[in-house]
């Protein structure tokens, strides 16, 4: 098997395996009805609504040569706090814990396919990520309404009306991948996820289980998307 075929086979297998993991991971959270830009990315003019399985707002530079990038710089994850956002009500330690977790899961996923570096270079991408809003689930209400049938019914109605279950958390983020030398934008995304009533895990007493599940999902989805683009298989 020649090098090209080996590379294609490796990419195909990777996408298939990661896709199966995504199907499991996304069960605990789901995309909200809409995601509002926070201003972190600055320019949203070329972003369009994503398709099924994609971020709610998405831009991909179709002229970029993603195959040449084998290294990535990852800026520290930031909180981009809007004046009316839920992040403004969180204490500093909680915000720090959230962004630390998001940063760690991104690095853990991307180190599989890229060398993480600290300096710019011709074969280096740069990733910028911001947590733009977060609302923890109301632990007591969330737990009770997941058990009591009446609470479940109310939650179902609220989900239809607003895109979110009763008393479960929601979290939104924005990210951008640019060429580390030219600063040309390669990818940009805006997304928001909310928690499901039943996650299949014993995490309902964790106030931030929705946020952390969403972070894991986004990190894995980013890995999948970059793998697709690097292999030339993305539509």
Q: What is the pLDDT of residues 1-48, one digit of tens each?
A: 454 444 444 444 444 444 444 444 445 666 666 777 888 999 999 999
The whole-model pTM stands at 0.75
Q: 32-36, 130-134, 137-141 — which one is most confidently predicted on average?
A: 130-134
DSSP string, 195-230: E-S--SSS-TT-TTHHHHHHHHHHHHHHHHHHHHHH
Measuring CA to CA, which residue among 100, 82, 201, 64 is closest to residue 146? 201
**Rounded distance, CA 151 to CA 154, Å?**
5
Pairing mode, if any, of strands 57-60 and 48-49?
A: antiparallel
How many structural domains does the chain have? 1
Residue-level pLDDT at 125: 98
Domain span holding position 121: 3-231
Interhelix angle 209-231/3-25, rounded to 10 degrees, is 160
């Amino acid at each position: 098997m020649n090098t090209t075929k080996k590379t294609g086979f490796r990419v195909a297998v990777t996408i298939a395996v990661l896709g199966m993991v995504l199907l499991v991971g996304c069960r605990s959270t789901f995309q909200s009805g809409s995601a509002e830009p926070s201003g972190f990315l600055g320019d949203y003019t070329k972003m369009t609504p994503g398709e099924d399985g994609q971020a709610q707002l998405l831009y991909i530079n179709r002229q970029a040569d993603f195959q040449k990038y084998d290294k990535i710089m990852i800026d520290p994850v930031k909180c981009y706090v809007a004046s009316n956002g839920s992040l403004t009500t969180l204490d500093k330690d909680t915000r720090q814990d959230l962004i630390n977790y998001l940063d760690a899961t991104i690095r853990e996923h991307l180190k599989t396919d890229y060398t993480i570096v600290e300096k710019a270079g011709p074969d280096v991408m740069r990733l910028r990520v911001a947590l733009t809003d977060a609302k923890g689930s109301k632990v007591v209400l969330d737990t009770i309404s997941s058990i009591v049938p009446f609470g479940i019914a109310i939650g179902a109605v609220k989900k239809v009306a607003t895109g979110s279950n009763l008393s479960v958390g929601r979290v939104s983020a924005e990210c951008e991948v640019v060429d580390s030398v030219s600063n040309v934008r390669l990818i940009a995304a805006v997304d928001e996820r909310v928690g499901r009533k039943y996650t299949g895990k014993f995490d309902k007493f964790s106030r931030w289980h929705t946020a952390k599940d969403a972070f894991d999902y986004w990190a894995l989805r980013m890995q999948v998307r970059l793998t697709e683009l690097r292999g030339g298989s993305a539509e």
